[in-house]
Amino acid sequence: MSQLSIDDIRVLCDAHSKPLELHFQYGTAGFRTLGNTLDSVLFRVGILAGLRSKRLDGKTIGVMVTASHNPEADNGVKLVDPRGEMLEAAWETHATVLANASTTDDFLHALDLFVRNVKIDLSKPSRVVYARDTRPSGVALISSLEDGLKAIGAEARDAGVTTTPILHYLVKAINTKGTKESYGDDSEDGYFKKLSDSFKKLVAGRPKITPLVIDCANGVGAPIAAKLVEYLGESIPLILENTSITTLGALNNACGADFVKTMQKLPPSLVEVLKPGQRACSLDGDADRLMYYYLDDRGYFSMLDGDKIAALVAAFIVDLVKLAGLESTIKVGVVQTAYANGASTRYLAKRLPVKCVPTGVKHLHHAAEHYNIGVYFEANGHGTVLFSPQAQETLANHEPSTPAQSTALNHLVNLTHLINQTVGDALSDMLLVEVVLAHKSYTGVEWNSLYADLPNRLVKVVVSDRNAFRTEDAERRLISPSGLQAKIDELVRRYDGGRSFVRPSGTEDVVRVYAEAILKTQADELAFRVAGLVYDEAGGDPSRRPKEFL
């Protein structure tokens, strides 16, 4: 490592020593745990980000400090690759190895091996852009990150306090600047202009949009949504709630997309705000997840999750492609996981191809890239729409033969600008939903009536070894323990519209059981019967067997 200042790295590494008792794991969401334990990780991620940039000939890499929908005490960090996509999978392992080197000497040894094995030319330039959410621990963690960037000699750009999707946008915009693939101006202002200009074009001539209440989760979505309001002007009235970003303990506390999805009820802070007949949405802590809901005329709460968003958006895009005369050229598809409600899958499958993939954004994003236009949303509200380079070229060059085709074509082109194609983006997705509702003249009730969700239940089963459970068929069937899947199949056959699957958690020693059926009581019963099977099969202590397991 002759072109790195080992002495500088050693001094700074000593100042950011690793807690000996902790093990860190780079997963789908990057590193994520208690914020006060991550000092050494952030320093080392700074070095890794710099090396990633060098390995890619000086392309700009992104680093986002956030723990998304987790409680305020947690924090985390993840890297963003040059096209705004998630870090290449092989480098997740490298990140984990470097983060867990026990001492400075161990770290320097691991670093040397890594640079040699990955064949990094240390003379190459290194560029990194970084940002954080509003968590109190973020300030110190950014300082640790900056020490890592300094140690590796990276040219660093601080994007300040912003949302995860904006950081992804910036990375892609920086790396495509001055090329024919230019994604937009590489600034927050560029992001806001791109979204607001396309939104205004898409809703022009439509009836005036009624006010939308936004639960900002007391997170970074609050100041960013407030800026977006200025750019949108009178095109849509937005009412921002839960904007207390300086109140300790408020972040994601009884508010936000994860609260709404998990509890299936209004955030308490909106009970006095939302009126019967009004719709609202919740962002999560870093504004990459979106959950819609409304009160009907009688004041009853109904939730519109990622499955409902996918159904609304995919059907709209399919209609536009047909109206533009492009259905033989542009193929639209939807990607789901096994957690997608069976009713949504049936609704979509009548209209376009539907693919099921294992849980995790990287699986969804990768599969969506195989379509000309790929739509993916997880039930938790994280998702986006991808337009392939071929689809974008077709839209740019297609000659419409009628005014109706021309209008539909323009709508599709504007959608490519409105949608943040790098990652799930709650604010971009919110505007997308509002466009479709405006075009269809739908209220929340009409949107919700596209299909009726099958009642479902998700149950966690604590096991001693989650690795004993292995799956196939996009996590919908078990291949081990041997014989367990046949027993589950036998149970499922007893219930009308029954479906159930079992998959190990990626982060803790639990197995998750999902079940659905025509009736709520049957979905619950099926879930608890399968949970009981799993508990017994895993050798669970009969004296500690949860009483609800059947």
Measured at the CA of 186, the angle between CA 182 and CA 192, to 5 degrees, comes to 100
Tokens of 340: 């997608």
Tell me whether residue 378 is annotated as binding.
yes
374 is in an annotated binding site: no
Name the token pair of 540. 């669970």
Supply the DSSP string of 410-468, one letter for each residue: HHHHHHHHHS-TTS--HHHHHHHHHHHHHHHT--HHHHHTTSPPPPEEEEEEE-S-GGG
- Residue 286 assigned as binding residue: yes
Q: Which helix (H) or strand (E) holds 158?
A: strand 155-161
* Tokens coding 309: 């968003």
List, in sequence order, every beta strand (DSSP E) within 25-145.
Answer: 31-34, 60-65, 74-80, 127-132
Annotated binding residue 284? yes
> In angstroms, how far apart are the furthest CA atoms of the chain?
73
504 is in an annotated binding site: yes
List C-alpha distances in Å: 196 to 176, 229, 322, 430, 474.
21, 9, 26, 12, 37
Binding site annotation covers 512?
Answer: yes
Task: Return d(Cα 450, Cα 454) in angstroms, integer.
Answer: 13
The H or E element spanning position 478 is strand 477-480
Whether 529 has a binding-site annotation, put simply, is no
Q: Which of 62, 61, 45 is nearest to 53 (CA)?
A: 61
Which two tokens mark 345?
Answer: 């899958």
In sequence order, the β-bridge partners of residue 470 are 480
The answer to whether 132 and 144 have CB atoms below 8 angstroms apart is no
Catalytic residue list contains 68: yes
The rounded distance, in Å, linking the Cα atoms of 164 and 241 is: 20
Give me the catalytic one of 53, 68, 144, 198.
Answer: 68
Q: Is 381 helix (H, G, I), strand (E, B) or coil?
A: coil
242 — alpha (psi -120 to 50), left (phi > 0) or beta? left
Cβ burial of 266 (10 Å; 0-12, 13-18, 19+) is buried
Structure tokens that stand for 397 in this block: 């060059």
Cβ(385)–Cβ(415) under 8 Å? yes
On whether 475 is known to bind a ligand per the annotation, the reply is: no
68 annotated as ligand-binding: yes
* Residue 507 assigned as binding residue: yes
CB 458 within 8 A of CB 530: no
Contact 334, 376 (CB under 8 A): yes
Give the residue numbers of the binding site. Answer: 68, 284, 286, 288, 378-380, 503-507, 512
Give the residue numbers of the binding site for Mg(2+). Answer: 68, 284, 286, 288
Give the residue numbers of the binding site for substrate. Answer: 378-380, 503-507, 512
Residues annotated as part of the active site: 68
